[in-house]
Structure 1
Amino acid sequence: MPFYYCPNCGASNPDSAAACYNCGAPNPTAQTTDATPPAATNPFEAPTQPQSPYQAPSYPPPVTYGTPPTPYQQPAAYTPPDVTPAYGAPLYGQVGYPYPASSIEAQRLQGQARTALILGILGLICCGLPGPVALAIGMQAKSGLQRMGVMEGQSLALVGMILGGAATIIWLLSILIGFVSG
């Protein structure tokens, strides 16, 4: 039995069929003797005759939306999005904001606190001249660390201040005793 392929959907149909079994399109090779219109051509209606079990499915034509861009179309200018936060800066410890103890300023002030401690010890052991320097550096480091809210280093600055103050008092007393006895 000869077959023809439907020009509408590509389905294989017998030559004797008046319309495609799949989509209902009229057979262009069939001899029409009947003046009645062919079956419905809607591909979503059920076929009037049974379909062959090995027939490829037919799909509606693809839908296109709008016009495709030309291959040499210039892209639109890029404008970066607005990244200003609408809710303010996050609190300490949140992502993106370092803990204040790890900032460069805090590390500098912690170094000053260690320096004040060392100078305070040297002021007590030696002649007492580094005492006032230890006192001044310790006061500056402690006030800066308190302002930043950093606890690490405040105790070193306090001990440096105490030792520097004690070394300064001892140094001044030794000078005073030297003038009185001399």
Structure 2
Amino acid sequence: MPKINGNEIRPGNILEHNGGLWAAVKVDHVKPGKGGAFAQVELKNLRNGSKLNERFRSADKVERVRLEQRDQQFLFETDGMLTFMDSETYDQIALPADLLGERRPFLQDGMTVQIEYYGEEALNVSLPQKVTCKIVETEPVVKGQTAANSFKPATLDNGVRVMVPPFVGQDEDIVVNTETMEYSERA
């Protein structure tokens, strides 16, 4: 594993720290008036989701971990476990549904996702950035409402509520950004 200095930590880096795997969420470089500079790093544990704030001086060495990313296809869900299949080796893996959190409704049958592995341990599931969904319920268009940049609530076919522009109607397909969970464009 490559070791990096404490001041080289960037958001998104995966670090091995205190015997656990942590993702750097936020990094602030601080130069106090007295004493040496340090990086104030907000870490998130990849195994249990706990958070930690840690200070790293430039002389501190931390191990940076590289995770292997594999494309896998979603097959089905049973008893809160999601089953994925490796498209090259056809190996199947079952992961807990809460790994996706609030993005779970956007997972569709046959969708290809990216799973990050540390050795043989699956740590994270990344959905495609944009997913197409159908609007099942929204308010009708009101004439003259398009003058201001306004949005109206809409319910998607997966049960998620998003805000959409007034010109988007019921039974239309829209593209939703899975990272921000917001309307992106018409499909």
TM-score (norm 2): 0.13
Q: Which one has the largest radius of gyration? A: 1
Q: Which has the higher helix share?
A: 1
Instruction: Give the alignment's TM-score, normalised by structure 1.
Output: 0.14
